[in-house]
């Protein structure tokens, strides 16, 4: 792990220097502030403006017209509408539309697959760009933007708005829009292809699917989002059941009589039929009756399978196959991905003799893989018989007890599957969820050997399959307001994910709670890194602070983040990178210093010439940042102070303040409670 250094933030490109005011966030004119940024995560960081020649202006954007094909799709029309809408907000001018036709050296912006593009000699190869990639190139005075698909075209237009014209999509309720009557179109030659086909930062905005257009602006696609086809559409993921859904596929309720499992069917479940298991976190109503399926039921020693038991009742496999066939047959949206996920248990819940023996031979993950392979074989056969033309893949959730690859290591350090029946089928994607991984370091860091996964975790799974998705975690879900910064690790972690061919990355944050500044900042930074892990984290942090907090407060926010991360990572390095240090590094002096920085930022904003309305916006955002060190101080209050009565007064004030900013949850599954002073 590289050490964290203080760097001068990259000077923002000249188009941003032309910006003189902000709408959407309420920023007034201000002098350019010099910011520092806390993370040198990648010494060869890529500029997000590479391919734009800021010394070669083609002309004012208000001199341009927009070209769409006469056969333009709704998504291409949406892309053009975004362009026209934001240019009007920036310049006050509505761009006119021009007729499509043969290429000419005129000041036009061609959006999507037009005759103008096709005759220009500029190519937008669908196979190369895939779904989300795009080209943005000028030929003469003309600018041509086209994606590998309609969604890619939308992303190309958004890229133009961001890096030519200076729009910044910051939060769901804050977009920076420069006031620049002479905003410029520059010569450029860009080909952008995201590292991952599908991407999402799972904060509350994504979890609750707040404002689909905001998700589009961040270029996210995920099963958690509801993005219409007009806005580019979403990944083709069947969303009928939640993540931990095995019992739902098996339609457990069909096998229950008077609140317990019918004795005829108990062989299919990890329950003897007499226990009522109540655990709504894991699987809702289904978990009243069974902890999970028995993943050995219906699976033979050689990997073959049976859909029915000897008495003619369906096996667990038979139940799952029937449930999935029914869904695929009736799926009018023609999805490609159907997730099959075990329940949310730390340890394998089925203790039948067959599962115990299977675990010894194949490992817990091996039992799951053998079940999923049998399911996949049946679904592949079904798809062929039904004449279904689309690609259908089953997503296996490698989580908790099933997250360890069933492999052996040879004397040369190479990994091989423990048994041929544990090699995943081609129509299965494994979704890795290394929840117990050390989040502060790379997947290959030696400190991972102190976790249950080890530094060869990714390498081991690569011996099982070459189709991956990744569900990883950016914070600590037991203490959401704790400063648990993992940003320095994400360049390396996402680079590894890219190298093994991960199709989809989901980074789970504080997914139920809104006013947590770490998540607000991380959405912006990690959203960009999910597109390209080599982007400069320093640039992203400084950029966000500048446009979200204004020039007066931004340096304090950057210094605050730097202070917390630097202290945290120095403690981690000094203690052998033990992940527990992430919850132990805070001292009274550190937190007083952190709170003092933010208090000074508030005083400076208050003393500025900003309007009262703008002052109030920035001060509230600073107070939201301050919730983090305040929370940490209260967590350790009796170590720092001696007055328990005063502690309760301050806890009450903290809860009241947090809730006034929209807070509800202090950690996963636990709400703030002002009456009982529950805040963690």
| 621-624: long-range pairs with CB below 8 Å, 24+ | 621/517, 621/548, 621/549, 621/553, 622/549, 622/553, 622/556, 622/557, 622/598, 623/598, 623/657, 623/661, 624/515, 624/516, 624/517, 624/520, 624/661
* Separation CA 108–CA 68 (nearest Å): 10
Q: Which domains are assigned to the chain?
A: 49-193 (3.30.379.10), 237-335+346-389 (no CATH)
> At a CB cut-off of 8 Å and minimum separation 6, what does 404 contact?
363, 364, 365, 452, 453, 460
Q: By the 8 A CB rule, do 565 and 5 touch?
A: no
| CA-wise closest residue to 622 among 636, 605, 639, 607 | 605
Closest of 458, 448, 464 to residue 370, by C-alpha: 464
Average pLDDT, the chain: 91
pTM for the complete prediction?
0.92
% of the chain beyond a pLDDT of 90: 84
pLDDT at res. 640: 95
Neighbouring-strand partners of residue 417: 407
What does the alpha-carbon distance between residue 104 and residue 381 come to, in Å, rounded to a whole number?
Answer: 53
Please give the DSSP secondary-structure letter assigned to residue 285.
G
Residue 556 CB: number of other CB atoms within 10 A? 23
pLDDT at 289: 59
d(CA 348, CA 356): 10
pLDDT of 509 over the 70 cut: yes
For the stretch 116-125, pLDDT in tens is 999 999 999 9
Measure the CA–CA gap between 284 and 293, rounded to whole angstroms. Answer: 15
Q: Is residue 268's pLDDT more than 60? A: yes
Maximum CA pair distance of the chain? 82
Identify the pLDDT of residue 233. 95
Tens-place pLDDT, residues 351-384: 899 999 999 999 999 999 999 999 999 999 999 9
Main-chain dihedrals φ then ψ at residue 322, nearest 5 degrees:
-60, -45
pLDDT tens readout for residues 308-360: 999 999 999 999 999 999 999 999 999 999 999 998 888 888 889 999 999 99
Q: How many residues does the chain have?
A: 680
Q: What is the mean pLDDT of residues 544-563?
A: 97
- In contact, 508 and 473? CB cutoff 8 Å: yes
Of 57-61, 187-191, 249-253, 662-666, minimum mean pLDDT range: 249-253
Q: CA torsion sign, 115 to 116 to 122 to 127? A: negative
Q: pLDDT tier at 256 (50, 70, 90 boundaries)?
A: confident
- DSSP strand pairing (134-139 vs 184-192): antiparallel
Q: Residues 110, 72: contact at Cβ < 8 Å?
A: no
**What percent of the chain stands above pLDDT 70?**
90
CA quadruple 464, 469, 471, 472: dihedral positive or negative? positive
What span, in angstroms and rounded, lies between the C-alpha atoms of 268 and 120? Answer: 62
How far apart CA 268 and CA 474 sit, in angstroms, is 36
Q: What is the pLDDT of residues 124-153, one digit of tens each?
A: 999 999 999 999 999 999 999 999 999 999
| 8 Å CB contact between 608 and 625 | no
538 pLDDT band, cuts 50/70/90, is confident
Please give the structure tokens belonging to residue 424.
């995943």
What DSSP character marks residue 39? -
Residue 253: which pLDDT band, with cuts at 50, 70 and 90? confident
Other beta carbons within 10 Å of 194: 21
Question: Residue ranges of the alpha helices (H) in 575-611?
Answer: 588-606
Distances (CA, A) of 648 to 400, 482, 632: 37, 19, 14
Residue 572 has pLDDT above 60, yes or no: yes
Contact 210, 523 (CB under 8 A): no
Which has the minimum average pLDDT: 40-44, 158-162, 297-301? 40-44
Local confidence band at 13 (pLDDT 50, 70, 90 cut-offs) = very low
Gap between the terminal Cα atoms of the chain: 31
Residue 651 has pLDDT above 50, yes or no: yes
Pairwise CA distance, residues 270 & 292, whole Å:
6
Q: How does pLDDT run across 575-631, given as a tens digit for each residue?
A: 999 999 999 999 999 999 999 999 999 999 999 999 999 999 999 999 999 999 999
Could you please report the per-residue DSSP string of 133-181?
A: -EEEEEETTEEEEEESSHHHHHHHHHHHHHHTS--EEEETTEEE----T
Q: What is the DSSP string of 476-506?
A: -TT-TTS----GGGHHHHHHHHHHTTEEEEE
């Amino acid at each position: 792990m590289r050490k964290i250094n203080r760097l001068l933030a990259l000077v923002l490109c000249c188009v941003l220097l032309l910006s003189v005011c902000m709408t959407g966030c309420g920023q007034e004119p201000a002098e350019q502030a010099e910011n520092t940024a806390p993370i040198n995560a990648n010494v060869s960081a890529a500029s997000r403006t590479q391919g734009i020649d800021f010394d070669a202006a083609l002309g004012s954007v208000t001199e341009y017209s927009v070209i769409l094909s006469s056969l333009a799709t709704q998504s291409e029309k949406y892309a053009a509408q975004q362009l026209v809408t934001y240019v009007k907000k920036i310049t006050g001018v509505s761009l006119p539309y021009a007729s499509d036709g043969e290429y000419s050296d005129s000041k036009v912006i061609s959006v999507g697959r037009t005759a103008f593009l096709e005759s220009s000699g500029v190519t937008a190869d669908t196979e190369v760009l895939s779904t989300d990639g795009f080209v943005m190139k000028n030929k003469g005075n003309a600018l041509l933007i086209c994606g590998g698909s309609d969604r890619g075209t939308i992303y190309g237009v958004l890229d133009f708005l961001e890096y030519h014209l200076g729009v910044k999509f910051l939060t769901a309720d804050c977009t920076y829009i420069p006031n620049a009557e002479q905003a410029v179109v520059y010569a450029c030659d860009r080909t952008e292809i995201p590292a991952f086909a599908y991407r999402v930062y799972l904060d509350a905005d994504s979890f609750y699917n707040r404002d689909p257009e905001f998700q589009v602006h961040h270029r996210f696609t995920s099963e958690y989002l509801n993005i219409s086809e007009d806005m580019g559409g979403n990944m083709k993921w069947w969303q009928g059941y939640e993540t931990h859904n095995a019992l739902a596929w098996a339609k457990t309720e069909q096998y229950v009589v008077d609140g317990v499992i019918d004795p005829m069917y108990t062989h299919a479940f990890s329950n003897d039929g007499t226990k009522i298991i109540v655990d709504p976190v894991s699987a809702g109503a289904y978990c009243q009756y069974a902890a999970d399926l028995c993943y050995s039921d219906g699976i033979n020693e050689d990997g073959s399978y049976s859909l029915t038991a000897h008495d003619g009742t369906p096996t667990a496999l038979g139940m799952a196959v029937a449930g999935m066939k029914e869904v695929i047959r009736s799926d009018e949206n023609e999805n490609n991905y159907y997730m099959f996920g075990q329940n949310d248990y730390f340890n394998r819940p089925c203790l039948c003799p067959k599962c115990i023996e299977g675990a010894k031979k194949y490992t817990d993950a091996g039992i799951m893989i053998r079940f999923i392979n049998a399911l996949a074989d049946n679904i592949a056969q079904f798809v062929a018989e039904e004449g279904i033309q689309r690609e259908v893949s089953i997503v296996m959730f490698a989580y908790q007890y099933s997250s360890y690859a069933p492999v052996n290591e040879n004397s040369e350090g190479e990994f091989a599957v423990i048994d041929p029946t544990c090699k995943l089928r081609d129509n299965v994607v494994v979704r890795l969820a290394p929840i117990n991984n050390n989040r502060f370091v790379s997947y290959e860091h030696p400190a991972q050997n102190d976790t249950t996964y080890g530094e060869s975790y990714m390498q081991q799974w690569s011996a099982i399959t070459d189709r991956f998705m990744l569900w990883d975690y950016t914070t600590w879900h037991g203490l959401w307001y704790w400063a648990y910064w993992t940003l320095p690790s994400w360049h390396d972690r996402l680079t590894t994910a890219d190298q093994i061919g991960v199709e989809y990355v989901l980074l789970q944050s504080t997914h139920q709670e809104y006013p947590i500044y770490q998540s607000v900042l991380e959405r912006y930074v990690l959203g960009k890194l999910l597109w390209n892990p080599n982007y400069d984290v320093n640039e992203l942090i400084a950029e966000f602070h500048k446009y979200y907090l204004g020039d007066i407060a931004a340096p304090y926010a950057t210094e605050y983040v730097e202070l917390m991360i630097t202290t945290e990572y120095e403690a981690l390095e000094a203690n052998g990178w033990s992940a527990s240090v992430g919850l132990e590094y805070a001292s009274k002096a550190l937190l007083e210093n952190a709170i003092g920085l933010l208090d000074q930022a508030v005083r400076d904003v208050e003393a500025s010439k900003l309007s009262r309305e703008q002052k109030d916006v920035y001060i509230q955002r600073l107070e939201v940042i301050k919730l983090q060190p305040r929370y940490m101080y209260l967590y350790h209050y009796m170590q720092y102070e001696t007055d328990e009565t005063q502690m309760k007064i301050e806890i009450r004030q903290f809860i009241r303040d947090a809730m006034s900013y929209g807070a509800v949850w202090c950690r996963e599954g636990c709400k703030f409670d002002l009456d009982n002073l529950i805040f963690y």
